[in-house]
Structure 1
Amino acid sequence: MESREAINREPGSTRSGRRISRRALVTGLLLTVLACSLLLELCSYVYLRVAEGYDGQHLMMHQFDDYKNIHPTPGYQDTRGVIHNAQGFRRAEDVAMTKPSGTYRIFLMGGSTAYGLGSLSPQGHQKYPVLKNSETIDHYLESYLKDLLPSRRIEVINAAIPSHSSHHHLIYLNQTILKYRPDMVVFVDGYNDYYPWEQNYDQFRDYPYRQWSHLYLDEPSLKAWAGYTGFWLYRKSHFVYLAGKKLRPLWWAIQNLRPQPRRELNVEEALHNLELNAEGNFLRMVERDALILNHEGIVPVFTLQPDLLFEQRKVLTEFEQRLSAEVDQAQPINYRQFKNRARSFVTAKLQQVTTAQGAPFIDMTDILGEIKDDAFTDDCHLTPPANETVAQYIGHRIAPLIAASIEKKEKGGRTS
């Protein structure tokens, strides 16, 4: 039985009667927190290296860009098969600023589909988390063109950037691409900004990533401070980065516990808005891209990408049917009907504006019918077999243009 002295011992004192100072308690607590934080950081680092393809240096696949918001992180590697070169192009080899003699250089531009992003769908990400560099459109296109034109040295460089829209191409062409003296630029676009149905849409003003600039650069606020601090930690801490990735699906699930009533889209009104928006937005961007490239003596090629919601010859797999239902739940009622009616309008308008500029246009909205397995990893991103089909479809149509361009240059050289 404890003595009366032990029972009456003051809190914070030891058996020897010494009192533990408040400073020692605080120091011990801080050391415990520090040790736990370091342990969490170490465990997160190991997990990311083993399970998530982390290369030990680059947590983020993109970084801030002065003119177009984001740019692929130079030197980034996901050890599961994603590589950026030193210039931020999705390519293992660096691209020489001075084009090697006898080389026909093609740049592939566009958003995340052209880049070759894995699925952004919660269920799709389990099956298609990443696509390797050897499974992207540019890789298949370069191989296909080398087979079609074996006597020529062909480069196809992936300069696509996830989330980018057609107005970013104007910036990127002048900022970077033209310095590499391409012979041809192929644009793979459509999903990000070709179907704006909101009234008075402006793709410069309404680009989603601009909200971060306003949050951090407008009048200082606690929200801005908390947001910036959280994002800084997300970029610098392995634990915070991993926790953010893993908790995001849980956050979405919590938000969906009380689903909001789905908005019903007025299709006729949306199509009217689209017609007005198109003239002041993506059609003008396509026209200006073509004008710039034609002025520089570069062949512009524009394409319209596939989309899961389109009525098409592709027989959807069970997995794709689940993806399709997932998209329906995420979009307003009647969105699928709008998208299919908008498709013919967008195709016709693109054909019109590209023809006026003497630029080829390739409609790829129904080219995946021969693929029996999955072609889509979500509503717009493609599987490796679909990327190969897209590459061959483009390659078959641009090969004659390449041959004619090379012949024209050779004749010009002999004449001079």
Structure 2
Amino acid sequence: MKKFLYILLPTLLLCLPAALGYWAGTHAMAAQVDKTIQWVEKGETLAGVLSVTKLTDEQRNNYKNAYSNPAVDAGVISWAVPNQPTPFVGTAPSPGQHQNAYINSWQMRNRQELQNPKPAGVYRIFLTGGSTAYGSGAPSQEQTIGGILEGLLNRATGKKDGVRYEVFTFANPAWSSTHERIAIENYLSELQPDLIISLSGNNDVFWADAGRNVLWFNAFADEYYQTLANAALKIGGRKALSDLPQVRPAPQQVPASTVAYRLEKNVRIGAHALQNVGVNWVFFLQPTLSVTKKGLTRREGDFLSASKDYYLDCYKAMSSSLSSLALKNFRFVDLSGMFDHLSSAEDMFLDQFHFGDKGNAAIANAIHAELSKQLGSGTQRP
């Protein structure tokens, strides 16, 4: 026994530094992963975003001007909703309550669950888009664009035709038109929609401004999960995932004509998928700070992008491309100038892309006005 211990002890002593080194490395990696997770979690609320983003005093202290109620609590306002891996779109909102956001089991920002098959007497609308459509900055679930729109439809149109309108919001911060097209083609078209509406366009320009190809790129949540996967691989002594050259951003902005071409490609594919199930699609080009002719308040002006001219060029190209499409089940509505008549006396934009409840209500009313032109019989579709 003593002989065995004499042999074992040196072996243990030799292995101890390696074991301690492995433990220390694992502990350091775990700490780094935890730091990454905490940083991402900061972005889940408006208050968190305000605390970690480099802003002027005007931007940070006067955000409440974009809300009708100045007592709004930024600490409970959902901003970047937690995501989880989701088939074919990379990631989408994780079901559950996240601050003032409720995500149902279908990953839609709705308190109610979607019933499948669809109940009789229901007119089902799906709203797709990025963070604006999702409702980043909305002071409550009911004051998202989808929530306001559903109320407008049921109070006005629904009372006339005896139909109950549902608006389910399947949108996610940072999604491009490619994410929306895949969601429409593979998912929403199978859930008995009567109408698809999109509030979109801005994120295609946002990613193109960063040199990304919206047909083949990783969004923020994709990169986050890749970071976590690489950390796990490193702890396990494995190689990190390969860097894909096709996904790397280009060193320059994507030409405006290419931005418009890629958006049109997604629209054509999505419209074809919906035509196969007899569903129409209305695409609303969303308002954004860089293209508005609104008189800007000092706070809004501080958010104005250095890429303003690029956004103007891209929006012009996208609007021209989509307005000239002759597809039976597709209609394009340009809302980019809907705030042009407003003066600098009132804040409307929360930042470059988002809105408080005042902006959400204005957009929902504009969408409702367009839909009401052809809704009313309970069976008509725009």
Indicate the TM-score class for this superposition, using the shorter chain for normalisation.
0.5 to 0.7
Distance 1:403 1:213, change over 3 A: same
Distance 1:348 1:77, change over 3 A: same
Amino acid at match of 2:298: E
2:92 maps to: 71
2:331 maps to: 360
Write out aligned runs for 1:246-325 (5 A). 273-279=255-261, 281-312=262-293, 314-324=294-304
Q: Determine if contact 1:109/1:187 at 8 Å carries over to the other structure.
A: yes
Work out whether 1:379 is the aligned partner of 2:352.
yes
Amino acid at match of 2:91: I
Instruction: Give the alignment partner of residue 92 of structure 1, picking from 106, 111, 118.
Output: 111
2:311 maps to: 339
Give the Cα–Cα distance (whole angstroms) in 1 for the partners of residues 194 and 96 of structure 2: 25
Distance 1:165 1:197, change over 3 A: closer
**Deviation per residue, 1:364-387 (Å, 9 max, x gap):** 111123485321111111121111
**Deviation per residue, 1:50-82 (Å, 9 max, x gap):** 994499xxx96221223212111112331xx22
1:161 maps to: 172
Instruction: Give the alignment partner of residue 156 of structure 2, picking from 123, 144, 148.
Output: 148
Distance 1:93 1:196, change over 3 A: closer
Amino acid at match of 1:364: L
Amino acid at match of 1:274: A
Distance 1:64 1:227, change over 3 A: farther
Give the Cα–Cα distance (whole angstroms) in 2 for the partners of residues 406 and 84 of structure 1: 28
Distance 1:395 1:219, change over 3 A: closer
Structure 2: stretches of 5+ with no match in the other structure: 1-30, 32-37, 46-72, 241-250
Q: TM-score, normalised by structure 1?
A: 0.62
Q: Determine if contact 1:200/1:277 at 8 Å carries over to the other structure.
A: no
**Deviation per residue, 1:241-293 (Å, 9 max, x gap):** xxxxxxxxxxxxxxxxxxxxxxx98xxxx68x2213432x2110011111111
**Deviation per residue, 1:341-388 (Å, 9 max, x gap):** 3322211111112x3344211101111234853211111111211111
Q: Determine if contact 1:201/1:277 at 8 Å carries over to the other structure.
A: no
1:134 maps to: 142
Q: Secondary structure at the match of 2:330?
A: coil
Structure with larger Rg? 1
Distance 1:133 1:216, change over 3 A: closer
Structure 1: stretches of 5+ with no match in the other structure: 1-36, 38-43, 119-129, 229-263, 329-334, 409-416
RMSD, aligned α-carbons: 4.1
Q: Determine if contact 1:310/1:365 at 8 Å carries over to the other structure.
A: yes
Amino acid at match of 1:185: I
Q: Secondary structure at the match of 2:354?
A: coil
2:7 maps to: none
Displacement of 1:193 in angstroms is 0.8
Q: Determine if contact 2:185/2:270 at 8 Å carries over to the other structure.
A: no
Q: Secondary structure at the match of 1:362?
A: strand
Give the Cα–Cα distance (whole angstroms) in 2 for the partners of residues 291 and 86 of structure 1: 27
Q: Determine if contact 1:198/1:274 at 8 Å carries over to the other structure.
A: no
Work out whether 1:189 is the aligned partner of 2:171.
no
Write out aligned runs for 1:190-205 (5 A). 190-194=201-205, 197=208, 202-205=213-216
Work out whether 1:179 is the aligned partner of 2:187.
no
Give the Cα–Cα distance (whole angstroms) in 2 for the partners of residues 139 and 288 of structure 1: 28
Displacement of 1:338 in angstroms is 2.2
Q: Secondary structure at the match of 2:181?
A: helix
1:402 maps to: 375
Displacement of 1:134 in angstroms is 1.6
Q: Determine if contact 1:374/1:383 at 8 Å carries over to the other structure.
A: no
Q: Determine if contact 1:63/1:70 at 8 Å carries over to the other structure.
A: yes
Distance 1:197 1:71, change over 3 A: closer
Give the Cα–Cα distance (whole angstroms) in 2 for the partners of residues 176 and 148 of structure 1: 29
Q: Secondary structure at the match of 1:193?
A: helix
Distance 1:178 1:316, change over 3 A: same
Write out aligned runs for 1:207-246 (5 A). 207-209=218-220, 210-211=222-223, 222=234
